[in-house]
Amino acid sequence: MSPLDISPQRGDAGDGIGGRPPRIDGLAKIRGEAAYAMDQPVEGLAHAVLVTATIAAGWVRGIDRTAAEAAPGVLLVLTPGNTPPLHAASTWTGEAPPTSEYRPLEPEIRHVGQQIALVVAESLEQATEAATLLRVDYEAAPFLADFTVPDAGEGQDLPPLTIERGDADTALASADIRISAEYGTPREYNVPIEPHGLTARWDGDALTLWEPSQWLDGMARNYAEWFGIGFEQVRLISPYIGGGFGSKALALPHGAIAAQAARMLGRPVKLVLTRPQTFTAFGGRAATRQLLELGADADGHLLAIRHRGWQETSRNGLWVEPLNAATALMYEVPHLSSRQRVVPVNTVTPSAKRAPGENPSAFALECAMDELAYALGQDPLALRLRNEPGRDPHSGKLWSSRRMREAYAAGADSFGWARRNPTPGAMRDGPLRLGWGMAAGTYPVRRSAGEAMVRILADGGVEVASSTSDMGTGAYTILAQTAASVFGLPLARVRVTLGDSTLPRAPVSGGSQMAGLMTGAVDKAARAAREELIGLALNDPRSPLRGVANTLAVAEGRLIAPRGEAPPLPIAELLTAIGRDRVEALRDTLAENGLKPEDRYRAFTTVSTMRAPTDGEYSMHSWCAHFVELAVDEALGSVRLRRIVTAFDAGLLYNPRLAESQIKGGIVMGIGQALLEGGIVDRRHARVLNNNLADYLLPTHADIPPIEVISVGEPDPHASALGGKGVGELGIVGLAAAIANAVFHATGKRVRDLPITLADLC
């Protein structure tokens, strides 16, 4: 079940931090033995199916449950009319709820797909059929289908995102060269292949949840508050997560109603969203629009950027996708004006999808830089180098590290950028026009506190435990490597247990922060355990090393006297000698993050103590440069990628093999964003029509070209304990712009609304 007993091959750079060992959870995954939440065998399970609204706004006047309740095997039918309220929970940012009650089934409808009933039956087949038998009486109300409909208006200003640096309007007016363009991104969905779902079981007042989770502590807190029980009474178990990309960090309404049903029934209940329901039960990336004006002098020095952004949110929730996240950061610009507005419409509240903010921000900015390069008659890469900022132009702080020039150089060199003919349409391969495009990306270093237990066992092996989770990031492996480094052990001697809310605390695995902060926590705990071990070896009366040496080192599972005063002593022998079965240390990194012990609960169960990238002396970010070659069939408009080279600076890579995989994964998702993905809204009904995997197009194998990724990072001691910066989100940032720029280079057509399809290019 857990990857504890796996012996991976030794990596080519060793098993410690910076080595390339294969995933230690890999064997369980390739054997089909890794038990994801929905794979857990639970005795006495009942199966639930969610019923969702088919109107966009209005009220459920009533639901006739008669036929459903009479259907074979049906155990319970929950509707707004027969479901007791829960307690309202505080938000993930730590704010108190505005109301005292939370109703997971509400009569008021605010979007298509909102959950309105739950049917529980003995079998999944029975629940599925019975769910079709409910008769819902609606009272429909007017709605706003999306932010393009005239009635949606301009929305509300978001003052915290306003930036006024210098005088952008005046600077633009006097600029030699100006470009102005509007860029759009559609609703994009996370679409992990594992659908959201859970099994909930009550034992008295204790609630056990098997649910995929990017944030066990945060979700456990939310469930505890909903049900008015203690945090310790909730146990959330999520050893493996079938992808999340931001969508599995929060407790969601379907979780509330499933747990509610389990409590009412006195039986464990399993609810898995259908694939179509995954498009409306939680939000993906908000649709966005950005108006960008860039002004430069004739040499290509940026003088001013004027940026206006609009994004969707829901009628009953505010999600902010910060559209100037990259705009304010990437280039040396004396004058910047940025405003953002948020437009409420009848949709599910949007949420985090890989690189919220940076992703759409970089799409617009990096396309605009390409447009400016053409307006100037300059090479797009040269234009970027000309405007490379020496320090963070927004905060004024020095970069902790910004190896952007190195990334440009390494990427351009490997790609062969110097051979590019800049004239659109000039590079050809038979009937195909080739496009070479590039763009840059960035993602901030976010920091929270972490906590880990490291335990030295009597057999000399080491255990690491934390409630953090591994959704494919490689957490199991890099945390094992961290401990292996401290003890000089082969990876096979390190066991890692994650994904259980009863383990030591961890904050959200989001914002690309997990690896940096959890390796720090494990390193700290491991060093503490090592110190205690050495102390015992030096001081315990039964220790063979007592009085032999003044200091000891630990390597290869042994205690070593530095001047050879005694033969190396295996840890196991020491523990036997001193009569201990373990030496363990539980450590957190609250203090390093400026927190106190009383901040502990808040630090791990909300994001209220997460530190900004400029909190401290430096401005800290990861960086990347993408280079893309594609071919466009001029007559038919089809775009096929040929190769991608991405050079990136994410500081030290704890395990380059796994980090490279994640960067490539971000690139693949960026390919989908650029060419395939987007929610298609029928505005007559405010309904996303392509709510399935045949119509919402994810990239397939055939869409993906060879991808080369090059790390140019060096350890950044300011960014994290071991010198790494964020990896998980970086690869997607700027990729869509590189593709759009390559499409322009191939065709001379500037497509500013994603995705770029046949209809745009034929």
Partner 1 sequence: MRDFAYHRATTLEQAGPLAARAESAILAGGTTLLDLAKCDVVRPAEVVDITHLPGLADIRADAESLHLGALVRMAAAMRHVAVRAACPAVAQALALSASAQIRNMATLGGNLLQRTRCAYYRDPASFPACNRRTPGSGCAAAGGVTHHHALLGTSEACIATYPGDLAVALVAVGAVIEIGTRWMPAEDFFLLPGETPHREFALEPGEIVTALCIPASAASRRSAYLKLRDRASYEFASVSVAAGLELAADGTIADVRLALGGVATIPWRLHAVEAALTGRHPTPATLREASLLAMQGATPRPDNRHKLDLAPRLVHRALEQLLQGDAA
Partner 2 sequence: MPPTAHAAAPAAAPPAALPQGSPVPNRPITLFINGHDHVVMVEDRTTLLDALRERLHLTGTKKGCDQGQCGACTVHLDGQRVLACLTLARQAEGSAIATIEGLAGADGTLHAVQAAFLAEDAFQCGFCTPGQIMSAVACIREGHAGSEAEIREYMSGNLCRCGAYPHIVAAVQRAAAALPSEASS
Q: How far is the CB of 82 from partner 2 (least distance, A)?
A: 16
Q: Is 135 in the site for partner 1 (CB under 8 A)?
A: no
* Integer angstrom CA distances of residue 268 from 52, 104, 263, 460, 549: 22, 18, 8, 40, 58
Both tokens of 309, joined, read 């952004």
Query: Which of partner 1, partner 2, none is residue 284 near (CB under 5 to 8 Å by kind)?
Result: none
Judged by CB under 8 A, which of 10, 29, 315, 718 binds partner 2? 29
Q: Of residues 5, 125, 139, 332, which one binds partner 1 by CB under 8 A? A: 125
Q: Is 423 helix (H, G, I), strand (E, B) or coil?
A: coil
Which one among 690, 718, 748, 753 touches partner 1, defined by CB under 8 A? 690
Q: Using the rule CB under 8 A, which residue among 87, 88, 103, 128 binds partner 1?
A: 128
Q: Which of 5, 12, 70, 72 binds partner 2 (CB under 8 A)?
A: 72
Q: Which is nearer to partner 2, 75 or 373 (CB)?
A: 75
Query: How many residues form the binding site for partner 1 (CB under 8 A)?
Result: 35
Query: Distances from the Cα of 452 to the Cαs of 211, 419, 468, 526, in angstroms?
Result: 22, 51, 9, 9
Q: Is 729 a catalytic residue?
A: yes
385 binds partner 2 (CB under 8 A): no
For 477-491, give the DSSP string.
HHHHHHHHHHHT--G
Nearest CB to partner 1, comparing residues 395 and 638 = 638
Q: Minimal CA–CA distance to 502: which of 207, 740, 226?
A: 207
- Binding flag, residue 150, partner 2 (CB under 8 A): no
Neighbours of 66 (CB within 10 A): 12
Binds 259, which of partner 2, partner 1, none (CB < 5 to 8 A, cut-off by type)? Answer: none
Of the residues 638, 642, 657, 750, which one makes contact with partner 1 according to CB under 8 A: 638
Q: Could you give the CA distance from residue 587 to residue 565 in angstroms, rounded to a whole number?
A: 32
Catalytic residue from among 312, 406, 463, 729: 729
The nearest distance, CB 210 to partner 2, in angstroms, is 12
Question: Furthest-apart CA pair in the chain: how many Å?
Answer: 86
Which residue's CB is nearer to partner 1, number 193 or number 759? 759
- Using CB under 8 A, count the residues that bind partner 2: 74
**Would you give the end-to-end CA distance of the chain in angstroms?**
51
- Are 626 and 644 in contact, with CB atoms under 8 Å apart? yes
Cα–Cα distance measured from residue 479 to residue 17, given in angstroms and rounded to the nearest whole number:
9
245 binds, options partner 2, partner 1, none, Cβ within 5 to 8 A by partner type: partner 2
Angle, CA 73 vertex, CA 70 and CA 79 arms, to 5°: 60
Among 299, 617, 695, 714, binds partner 1 (CB under 8 A): 695
Between 576 and 690, whose beta carbon lies closer to partner 1? 690
31-251-476 Cα angle (round to 5): 35
Are the C-beta atoms of residues 273 and 241 closer than 8 Å to each other? Answer: no
From 620, 622, 624, select the one nearest 738 (Cα to Cα).
Answer: 624
Using CB under 8 A, pick the residue from 675, 686, 737, 746 that binds partner 1.
675
Smallest gap from Cβ 678 to partner 2, in A, equals 16
Q: Give whichever of 96 and 694 is closer to partner 1, judged by the CB atom.
A: 694
Here the tokens at position 603 are 């630090």
H-run or E-run covering 337: strand 335-345
Q: Tell me the C-alpha distance between 50 and 116, whole Å.
A: 8
The interface region with partner 2, picked from 134-142, 198-206, 715-723, 747-755 by CB under 8 A, is 134-142
CA distance linking residue 188 with residue 678, whole number of Å? 5
Within residues 703-722, the interface with partner 1 by CB under 8 A covers: 703
If you search the block for the tokens 């998702």, which residue do you land on? 669
Residues in contact with partner 1, shown as a per-residue x/- string from 80 to 109 under the rule CB under 8 A? ------------------------------
Query: How many angstroms separate the CA atoms of 479 and 517, rounded?
Result: 11
Q: Which stretch binds partner 1 (CB under 8 A): 259-267, 581-589, 681-689, 745-753?
A: 681-689
Hunting for tokens 């401005």 — which residue is that? 619
Copy the structure tokens of residue 752.
């500013």
112 versus 179: smaller Cβ distance to partner 1: 112
* Interaction partner, residue 367 (partner 1, partner 2, none; CB < 5-8 Å by kind): none
Residue 514 binds partner 2, judged by CB under 8 A: no
355 within 8 A of 324, measured Cβ to Cβ = no
Residue from 82, 132, 421, 551 that binds partner 1 (CB under 8 A)? 132
Residue type, 391: R
Determine which residue in the list 685, 718, 749, 750 makes contact with partner 1, applying CB under 8 A: 685
Could you say whether residue 63 binds partner 2 (CB under 8 A)? yes
Residue with tokens 């502590």: 217
Residue 187: strand, helix, or coil:
coil
SS3 154: coil
The residues of the shown chain that bind partner 1, judged by CB under 8 A, are: 54, 72, 112, 125, 128-129, 132, 635-638, 640, 675-676, 680-682, 684-685, 687, 689-690, 694-695, 697, 699-703, 755, 757-759, 762
Which positions are catalytic? 729
